[in-house]
Amino acid sequence: MAAAGQDNNFRDGKNEINGDFSGNGANNAGSIQDVSLLDEENDMEPLASPGQSPNKGDDKSRSRSRKPFHYPANRRQSEELDSHSTLATYNRYRYYSRLAPPDDHRMRIPDHIVPASLFYPAMFVDRSQKQGSLITIFSIWNTMMGTSLLSMPWALGKAGFVLGLVIMVVMAGLTLYTCYRVIKSVEGVDQEGEVLEFSDVCRHYLGRWGEGCSVFFSLSALMGAMIVYWVLMTNFLYNVVSFAYENIHASGNETSASTEGENTHQILYCQSLRPPMRGVLSYGLIINMYFSTTVLCPLNSSHTPHTGNMSGMFQVPTPDDTFHHVWERVKTVPFFLIILVFPLLNFKSPTFFTKFNALGTMSVVYLLVFVSVKAAQWGIHLDFSHTGKDVDVTEASEYFPILTGTLALAFFIHNAAVSICRNQKHPENNGRDLSIAYVCVMVTYVVVGAVFYASFPKDKSCIEDNLLNNFSNTDTLAFVARVFLLFQMWTVFPLLFYIFRLQFMHTLFGTTYPSLVHVVVLNLLLVGVCVIFARFLPHIGTIIRFSGAFCGLAYIFTLPCLVYLVRLKQTGRLTWPIAAVHGFIILLGLANFVGQFFFLNKT
């Protein structure tokens, strides 16, 4: 049996039972459809006696007010009390309600006083709130899919095609192991009745400094994600507005406004080296034979044009008009973005934005379709013979730390893994489900990174850290991707701020919302940091790899291993081989972070 209202939380302010109890007709004959006590003014009347109505108002006022619970529920108007017992219950409630102020719930009506009619059978109610393995796997995959997906072809190219694929597999396995250690570490902490996070585990095994490190690096990961989001939203907003402007004022002309707004790119008209798939739909046209597309290449790349595969090349002109002076991707758009985003950051609860979480999955699916369509149109362009062609491929490169830093953030879910797996219906399957999820994530990154890199029709050094920057705004598929991602990030960005504010404010002030002033000041500081990066370092690849290497040093490589070693030592199971292996993992994290500083100019 379950009590309607569950905790009998009667509101004393107006002597009213909050009782919109729903039932299913005959199936719940014992439930009450509408329960209410008298209004506040009726509390001034003397306690009712049998046969006496506690409300002597006229019929009009009586019809507007809800009947007290001691009236028969099947009668619209009644002057008859249901029974002496229900009347006694009503009088008891009024007595209890006057023993303490309205805001003091210590004197609420006890459970044994509540009439039996207020209880109903708890039928078809799942109180376990548990999730199956499929939901767990999807949640992990969906949470890990983020902005790193756009940088994967660029990072893969920096490491070399063959070495990059090997590193992706190794990093997936390494981060999977440490994430598994995070989940298992909770089992060793016995705090009944408390919801544990990994920071609580660090405090239990490592002390206050361990908890402080976990919170600090978790906030650092959120800060890095917010900066990347701001840079990408700036990029997408710039391109979307420029596309609309060009279609209205310069229809048919392809200018720099559709790409960067500065002399930073070459436009290369590339013809596919093989016929694409027949019947591929692109730009609203059915492709049957050869087709040409436009790709963009940064002027500071090592690209050397070859006339054999290029029908035209020119530097992008910069139109001299007011619009392009006001609407510049780096100089002005980051500030315009404040107008669209900042008002959304000050809400006390971002519940509304959680309704758009499904857009994250849809954007990942669209990117997979986008890359697949482009690969089908371009064909495979790989040349391992090093003959000097556009499509020369490097098998391995000394710049591989760029990829490892990017993957550290791409496979980072360690600060959310405990929360996701907490409600697993079968906790013994957490290891299996986590492994399947990591394999799915790795496959997704390989598909986007390797397929785009292998099919890119020009010099591989032209691939940018945001793969959409290799397409002009006249590319319909790329334009749709920008619009889609802009809206998705616009709805997710307030959630990132909310999570950051939640952890930061609770750590400093012990509450998640000290005041509106505190929240606004914090949001101004965070937005200021994001704008500075978007203005002076608008390279998401560099931001991602440094953020991933820095946060991964603690949250991926160090803290899980230290917690595991301390736990083994406390139980007397620590051995030298185990200590050596986990010490080596910590050194790998340190080397990954230090290695990022050797390639500062590789953006």
pLDDT of res. 235: 93
Give 236's contacts (C-beta < 8 A, 6+ positions apart): 482, 483, 485, 486, 489
pLDDT of res. 67: 54
The string of DSSP letters for 283-348 reads: TTEEE-S--EEEEEEETTS-----GGGEEEEEEPP---SHHHHH--TTTTHHHHHHHHHGGGGG-S
pLDDT of res. 301: 53
CATH hierarchy code of domain 133-599: 1.20.1740.10
Task: Tell me the CA distances in angstroms from 436 to 234, 324, 409, one per residue in order.
Answer: 35, 48, 19
pLDDT of res. 453: 94
Distance CA 194, CA 191 (A): 6
SS (H, E, C) 138-197: HHHHHHHCCCHHHHHHHHHHHHCHHHHHHHHHHHHHHHHHHHHHHHHHHHHCCCCCCCCC
Question: What is the mean pLDDT for each group of 10 consecutive residues in the chain (603 residues)?
Answer: 42 38 38 38 43 47 50 50 62 67 63 58 53 88 88 94 95 96 85 71 91 91 93 94 81 44 46 37 32 68 41 40 84 93 82 72 90 91 71 85 95 89 86 95 95 90 92 87 90 87 85 86 95 94 94 94 95 94 96 91 67
| Residue extents of the structural domains in the chain | 2-120, 133-599
Q: What's the maximum distance between 2 C-alpha atoms anywhere in the chain?
A: 104
Distance CA 446, CA 172 (A): 11
DSSP summary character for residue 48: P
**pTM above threshold 0.85:** no
pLDDT of res. 407: 96
Amino acid residing at 236: F
* 60 membership: H or E segment, kind and range: helix 59-64
Q: How many residues does the chain have?
A: 603
Q: Which of 269, 267, 270 is nearest to 297 (CA)?
A: 267
Q: Which of 14, 115, 3 is nearest to 70 (CA)?
A: 115
pLDDT of res. 344: 86
3-state DSSP assignment of residue 270: strand
Distance CA 38, CA 441 (A): 59
Phi and psi, residue 527, nearest 5°: -65, -40
Record the tokens describing residue 232, joined without a space: 């990408």
Beta sheet of 310-315, edge-to-edge order: 292-298, 265-271, 310-315
